[in-house]
């Protein structure tokens, strides 16, 4: 029994330490002009998956309240392994995805690459398809010594396999691929910095453009020209919360994993689709 008490004390101490550190980080973010008006903060990344992480998030929320902060802090609602795939559907205008049975999405990380077929909900058009993952594949590239080009071809192989699986199950895929990737992603799809942990390295060197590479290898899906969009992984993971944030004008996400990602969102008018 004494051993259990000691272990519990260590765990509770670790939760308290992390919660206080998280509360301090959030206080610093809230002082930034870009965070003005934020009332809800979602915590994503691998840390939010376990019970200890959830308890630390809850404790940090209580600390913020005790300091008088008018903020709600909560774990991400989707499975952290699937949130970035689901969020990818929001990279595209609603009209580009709402009339199809699904779309391809990719989540690139420092250890794994996950690709999947995302299925939109047909219950409410205004919810902008509360999406779900129909099928996904995981490749742990960290265990392999590969270069960047090999990584691209392996990713393309995953996507082509998912296209064939969707065809077998009569799922009509939209001609779009959404990608979540670490680093600073420029408007043209180039990673300007932060890609050093990706397979083979140098993803942020020499003008490498992953969306262009994928478009060149998969020029069409279902007979229509492929469109590929890539954004920072924290942003895309945060986009998975869009259906739950209809009552919030401004909200933010913190993703806690190998690093600390963050993004602030402002809601716009509800999307419509004439085909639903």
Per-residue pLDDT 10s for the chain (276 aa) are 456 888 888 889 989 999 999 999 999 999 999 999 999 999 998 878 788 889 999 999 999 999 898 999 999 999 989 999 999 999 998 888 888 999 999 999 888 899 999 998 755 544 445 789 999 999 988 788 888 899 999 999 999 999 999 999 999 999 999 999 998 999 988 998 887 778 877 888 767 899 999 999 999 999 999 999 999 999 999 999 998 998 888 999 999 876 788 999 998 765 555 433
The answer to whether residues 121 and 213 belong to one domain is yes
The answer to whether residues 67 and 121 belong to one domain is no
The answer to whether position 155 is within a domain reads: yes
Provide the pLDDT for residue 117.
98
The answer to whether residues 93 and 204 belong to one domain is yes
The answer to whether residues 223 and 254 belong to one domain is no
Q: Which range marks the domain in which residue 149 is found?
A: 84-231
The answer to whether position 208 is within a domain reads: yes
What pTM does this model have? 0.89
Contact indicator for 270, 246 with CB cutoff of 8 Å:
yes
The answer to whether residues 115 and 252 belong to one domain is no
Cβ neighbors of 230 (< 8 A, separation 6 or more) are 178, 179, 180, 181, 185, 189, 210, 211
- Residue among 115, 40, 130 at smallest CA distance from 84: 115
Coil vs helix vs strand at 273 = coil
CA–CA dist 9, 3 (Å, integer) = 10
Q: What is the CATH number of the domain that holds 227?
A: 3.30.420.40
The answer to whether residues 72 and 181 belong to one domain is no
Number of structural domains in the chain:
2
The answer to whether residues 179 and 90 belong to one domain is yes
Provide the pLDDT for residue 64.
94
The answer to whether residues 72 and 48 belong to one domain is yes
The answer to whether residues 259 and 188 belong to one domain is no
Coil vs helix vs strand at 253 = strand
The answer to whether residues 193 and 254 belong to one domain is no
């Amino acid at each position: 029994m004494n051993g259990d008490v000691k272990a519990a004390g260590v765990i509770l101490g670790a939760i308290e330490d992390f919660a206080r550190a998280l509360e301090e980080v959030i206080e610093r973010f809230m002082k930034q002009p870009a965070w003005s008006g934020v009332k809800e903060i979602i915590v994503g990344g691998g840390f939010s998956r376990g019970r200890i992480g959830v308890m630390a998030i809850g404790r940090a929320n209580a600390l913020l309240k005790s300091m008088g902060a008018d903020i709600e802090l909560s774990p991400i609602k989707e499975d952290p392994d699937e949130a970035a795939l689901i969020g990818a559907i929001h990279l595209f205008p609603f009209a580009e995805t709402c009339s199809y049975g699904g779309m391809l999405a990719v989540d690139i990380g420092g250890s794994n690459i996950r690709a999947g077929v995302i299925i939109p909900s047909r219950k409410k058009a205004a919810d902008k398809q509360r999406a779900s993952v129909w099928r996904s594949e995981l490749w742990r590239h960290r265990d392999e010594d590969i270069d960047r080009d090999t990584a691209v071809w392996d990713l393309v192989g995953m996507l082509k396999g998912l296209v064939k699986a969707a065809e077998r199950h009569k799922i009509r895929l939209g001609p779009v691929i959404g990608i979540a990737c670490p680093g600073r992603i420029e408007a043209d799809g180039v990673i300007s910095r932060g890609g050093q942990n990706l397979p083979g390295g140098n993803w942020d060197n020499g003008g490498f453009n992953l969306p262009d590479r994928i478009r060149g290898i998969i020029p069409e899906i279902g007979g229509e020209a492929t469109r590929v969009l890539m954004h920072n992984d924290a942003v895309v993971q945060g986009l998975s919360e869009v259906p739950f944030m209809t009552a919030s004008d401004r909200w933010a996400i913190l993703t806690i994993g190998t690093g600390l990602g963050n993004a602030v969102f402002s809601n716009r008018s509800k999307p419509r689709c004439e085909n639903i």
